[in-house]
Amino acid sequence: MKAAVLYELNAPVQVEDVDLDSPKAGEVRVKIAANGVCHSDYSVIHGVLRSPLPVVLGHEGAGVVEEVGPEVSLVKTGDHVVLSFAPYCGRCYYCSIGSPVLCTNMRMTMGKGTLLDGTCRLKKNGKDIHHMAGLSSFAEHAVVDQTACIPIPDNVPLDKACLVGCGVMTGLGAATNTAKVQPGSSAVVIGCGGVGLNTIQGCVLAGASTVIAVDLMDNKLEFAKEFGATHTINPGREELVRTVRRLTEGRGADYAFEVIGLGKTIEQAYACTRQGGMTVVVGAPSREDTVTIPASSLLTEKSIKGSLYGSTRPRVDMPRLIELYMNKRIKLDELVTRTYALGEINEAMDALEKGEVARSVVVM
Ligand X SMILES: NC(=O)c1ccc[n+]([C@@H]2O[C@H](COP(=O)([O-])OP(=O)(O)OC[C@H]3O[C@@H](n4cnc5c(N)ncnc54)[C@H](O)[C@@H]3O)[C@@H](O)[C@H]2O)c1
Where do contacts with ligand X occur on this chain (CB under 6 A)?
38-40, 43, 166, 170, 190-196, 214-217, 220, 235, 259-261, 265, 282-284, 307-309, 352, 355
Q: Which of ligand X, Zn ion, none lies near 103, with the C-beta cut-off 5 to 8 A by kind?
A: Zn ion
Considering only residues 24 through 43, tell me which ones interact with Zn ion, judged by CB under 5 A.
38, 40
Q: Which of Zn ion, ligand X, none lies near 95, with the C-beta cut-off 5 to 8 A by kind?
A: Zn ion
For residue 106, the minimal CB distance to ligand X (Å) is 13
B/e letters for 145-175, b = 16+ CB within 10 Å, e = fewer, are bbbbbbbbeeebebbbbbbbbbbbbbbbbbb
Whichever of 223 and 270 has its CB closer to Zn ion, that residue is 223
240-247 and 263-272 helices cross at what angle (nearest 10)? Answer: 30
The string of DSSP codes covering 26-85 is TEEEEEEEEEE--HHHHHHHTTSS---SSEE---SEEEEEEEE-TT--S--TT-EEEEPS
Whichever of 56 and 68 has its CB closer to ligand X, that residue is 56
Which amino acid belongs to residue 86? Answer: A
Which residue in 166, 174, 259, 266 binds Zn ion (CB under 5 A)? 166
For residue 238, the minimal CB distance to ligand X (Å) is 12
Q: Which of ligand X, Zn ion, none lies near 192, with the C-beta cut-off 5 to 8 A by kind?
A: ligand X
Q: Which of ligand X, Zn ion, none lies near 148, with the C-beta cut-off 5 to 8 A by kind?
A: none
Using rule CB under 5 A, residue 335 touches Zn ion: no
Residue sitting closest to ligand X (CB): 193
Q: Which of ligand X, Zn ion, none lies near 260, with the C-beta cut-off 5 to 8 A by kind?
A: ligand X
CB 276 within 8 A of CB 254: no
Using rule CB under 5 A, residue 92 touches Zn ion: yes
In eight-state DSSP terms, residue 182 is P
For residue 330, the minimal CB distance to Zn ion (Å) is 17
Residue 30 bridge partners (DSSP):
65, 142
| HSE toward the beta carbon, residue 178, CA cutoff 13 A | 30
**How far is the C-alpha of 87 from the C-alpha of 77, rounded, in Å?**
19
Contacts of 277 (CB under 8 A, 6+ apart): 252, 253, 254, 255, 256, 302, 303
For residue 93, the minimal CB distance to Zn ion (Å) is 8
CB 222 within 8 A of CB 197: no
**How far is the C-alpha of 320 from the C-alpha of 43, rounded, in Å?**
29
For residue 168, the minimal CB distance to ligand X (Å) is 10
Q: Which of ligand X, Zn ion, none lies near 230, with the C-beta cut-off 5 to 8 A by kind?
A: none
Q: Which residues bind Zn ion (CB under 5 A)?
A: 38, 40, 88-89, 92, 95, 103, 166
